Amino acid sequence: MTTSYKTNDSGSERIFILGCERSGSTWLSNILSSHEDVQFIMEPFAKQLNIFPDFPERNQYMEEWSSSLSASLRRRINDLPRLQYPFFYRPGRPLFTFSLDRMLLASMIRFCDAMARPLALTWRRYKDLSLTMHRPNSGKLWVKNRPGPISRILIKELRLNFKLSLLVGLFPKAKYIVTIRNPAGQITSILDRMQRGSLQELRESLNNLPLILGNPRFRSYQHLLKNWSNKSLESKLSAWWLINYQTLIKDLQESEASFKLVYHEEISKQTAEQVDEVFNFLQLEKTGAVLEYVQRSSSSSQRQEFDTLDTMRNSRVYFKQRIEQASASLLMSIQDAFASSDLIQELEPYRIALNGCREGLS
């Protein structure tokens, strides 16, 4: 099935959410996506989607690139809205077209399961690029019924932390949001998901992190990455967290890109105020749908235990739980990582918080 799909591909209309796994990026993406003028695309660089097959892996830091790579990347990013909705539904079309597409997807999944066949790539892309839309009872929130084109394309992608120069070069007017969370809580949550069989792509990519030492800017982390294969998973994740955030934030500052840092703890404690700041940064007005979703997602306790995409939670309580569950060995690993590097100002609050955690365990 081939259909036309028109979207505004101006760089000024791009919003990228960057950061690391389990930082609150999906929750913030869902909040923004509840606005009728925002189209949310979920992690298009995931390997299983094969949209960017020749793109360097996530731990390869990029300062230079070929013209063919940049042209290919721009073309494929601009093509994402069409890949996200390849069938009947488009933002602005009647709600029944979305329902029809979702019924077709459910039928295709049942057929593939019965025949023991993998889901065809077109269907997998449709499902995964709009992953939050296909959860039970969630679709209507993200279906755009307004007429006319969507003016902002929101791309959440956590595999681009070392590709900032390339992104800014392609989309100089784009805006960037970085979600960050106390590493004790964030890594504890990552470890929990890994134990349940999730985040395997991240786990595999950790083995390649020392490759960054080939770039002079990472030599200060040489001690941190020494004897990498013998380190514990907690130590690897602590180093990975630190290097990713330090590199990403420094690159954003040096590039003079328009960006905002969103601390998970702050948006959990003061959700309405922090969401106001994000919408002001993006020059978006909060609508009734946004206000409804913010209130519901930050005060509900309807989480399904194994549902990674369920962002309904009592936010004032939720963000503290993982920090309290952090093991003493993890806290030590994070402290060692912090001690090995000069922390940028934006991460300094977590050094102070970590000292408080360790004092509580002593």
pLDDT of residue 94: 84
| Spatial separation of the C-alpha atoms in residues 317 and 111, rounded to whole Å | 41
What's the domain count of the chain? 1
Q: Are 104 and 59 in contact (CB under 8 A)?
A: no
Closest by CA to 297, choosing from 105, 24, 17, 55, is 24
Cα dihedral sign, 183-275-273-347 = positive
Q: How far is the CA of 51 from the CAs of 45, 66, 324, in angstroms?
A: 7, 18, 39
Asked whether residue 321 is domain-assigned, the answer is: yes
Asked whether residue 4 is domain-assigned, the answer is: no
Q: Are 24 and 322 in contact (CB under 8 A)?
A: no
| Spatial separation of the C-alpha atoms in residues 226 and 214, rounded to whole Å | 13
Question: Is residue 362 pLDDT above 80, yes or no?
Answer: no
Closest by CA to 242, choosing from 164, 163, 161, is 161
Q: Which residues contact 160 (CB under 8 A, 6 or more apart)?
A: 16, 18, 45, 58, 167
Q: What is the amino acid identity at position 216?
A: P
Asked whether residue 58 is domain-assigned, the answer is: yes
pLDDT of residue 138: 47
**Residue pLDDT, tens place only, 77-107:** 999 989 999 999 887 788 889 889 999 999 9
Read off the pTM.
0.90
Q: Are 234 and 330 in contact (CB under 8 A)?
A: yes
- How many residues are listed for the chain in this entry? 362
Half-sphere exposure of residue 218: CA atoms within 13 angstroms, side-chain side: 25
Asked whether residue 241 is domain-assigned, the answer is: yes
Closest by CA to 252, choosing from 177, 152, 180, is 177
Q: Are 279 and 286 in contact (CB under 8 A)?
A: yes
Asked whether residue 124 is domain-assigned, the answer is: yes
203 vs 143, more confident: 203
Asked whether residue 5 is domain-assigned, the answer is: no
pLDDT of residue 3: 37
Average of per-residue pLDDT across 5-15? 57
Domain, as residue range, for 98: 11-361
Q: What percent of the chain has pLDDT over 70?
A: 86
Q: How far apart are the first and last CA of the chain?
A: 63
Asked whether residue 141 is domain-assigned, the answer is: yes
Residue 316's pLDDT band (boundaries 50, 70, 90)?
Answer: confident
Concatenating the DSSP letter of every residue in 250-293 gives HHHHHHT-EEEEEEHHHHHHSHHHHHHHHHHHHT----HHHHHH
Highest mean pLDDT among 69-78, 234-243, 292-301: 234-243
Question: Is residue 360 pLDDT above 60, yes or no?
Answer: no
**Residue pLDDT, tens place only, 281-298:** 999 999 998 998 898 888
Question: Is residue 160 pLDDT above 90, yes or no?
Answer: yes
Question: Is residue 185 pLDDT above 80, yes or no?
Answer: yes
Average of per-residue pLDDT across 263-273? 94
137 vs 341, more confident: 341
Residue that has been written with the tokens 């992104």 in this structure: 167
pLDDT of residue 124: 95
pLDDT of residue 305: 46
Question: Is residue 299 pLDDT above 70, yes or no?
Answer: yes
187 vs 321, more confident: 187
Q: Which residues contact 118 (CB under 8 A, 6 or more apart)?
A: 112, 124
**Phi, psi angle pair for 181, to nearest 5°:** -140, 150
Closest by CA to 156, choosing from 23, 324, 286, is 23
Q: What percent of the chain has pLDDT over 90?
A: 70
Q: Which residues contact 79 (CB under 8 A, 6 or more apart)?
A: none
pLDDT of residue 137: 43
**Residue/partner pairs of 192-197 with CB below 8 Å, 24 or more apart:** 192/322, 193/21, 193/22, 193/308, 194/233, 196/306
Average of per-residue pLDDT across 115-129? 95
CATH code where residue 261 lies: 3.40.50.300
Least confident of 77-86, 137-146, 235-244, 326-335: 137-146
Q: Are 20 and 158 in contact (CB under 8 A)?
A: yes
Question: Is residue 142 pLDDT above 60, yes or no?
Answer: no
Asked whether residue 3 is domain-assigned, the answer is: no
Residue 246's pLDDT band (boundaries 50, 70, 90)?
Answer: very high
